[in-house]
Amino acid sequence: MHSLLVLNGPNLNLLGTRQPEIYGRTTLADIEALCAATAREVGARVSCWQSNHEGALVEAIQQARRSHDGIILNAGAYTHSSIALMDAIAATGLPTVELHLSNIHAREPFRQRSFIAPVAVGQICGFGANGYRLAILALVEHLQRRAGTESDATDGPPTETR
Ligand code: CA2
């Protein structure tokens, strides 16, 4: 069973309470419940955590290496500034999906640059809270495909299929 870490960064604890026109009315607790339900659906395990502190997020990413198979990261505003988070993701080597509620590419220029994107397996943005569901499905499929490829490589020569 794949184990996923859903990490949310600064100010995402305020979801559902302010700026609903940008971030919707869904609370972080709602999102965490959606993640748990989606993970159950696909036979994965999920843990969710939020912090407003860059160093705490770095530590969570470092520790995930021992306990999780992949990360879904909404780094909030740190997306656009944090070389430390980028380095932490690269160092763990865990497949990471970058996630944003809003379409960062349709917003201010400073939000269009991501330090996470170059070290992520992919990015999902613009689908609101449903993005977390999409990210879990994409990451589980990525992990399953990777596990299949790894066992293919150790199973001997490929057999021809028509
Ligand atoms: O769209 C996203 O998910 C973001 O990561 C959200 C960040 C923003 O800095 C990124 O550019 C895009 C901001 C999260 C702040 O969330 C709030 C929620 C409710 C009220 C105020 C802030």
What residue segments make up the domains of the chain, in order of their start? Answer: 3-154
Ligand 1 pocket, CB under 6 A:
11-12, 14-15, 18-19, 23, 74, 76-77, 79, 100-102, 104, 111
DSSP three-state, residue 76: helix
- In 3D space, the residue among 30, 25, 28, 26 whose CA is nearest the CA of residue 12 turns out to be 28
Which has more confidence, 151 or 65?
65
Q: Which of 14, 18, 23 to mutate to test the pocket of ligand 1 (most atoms within 8 A of CB)?
A: 23
| Cα(25)–Cα(30) distance, integer angstroms | 10
Atom of ligand 1 nearest to the CA of 75: 5
pLDDT score at 159:
58
State the pTM of this model: 0.93
Q: Is the pLDDT assigned to residue 162 strictly greater than 50?
A: no
Q: Which of 1-15, 19-33, 148-162 has the lowest mean pLDDT?
A: 148-162
What's the whole-number mean pLDDT along residues 118-136?
97
pLDDT reading at 160 higher than 80: no
CATH number of 3-154: 3.40.50.9100
**What pLDDT does residue 86 have?**
98
**Ligand 1 pocket, mutate which of 18, 50, 102, 116 (most atoms under 8 A from CB):** 102
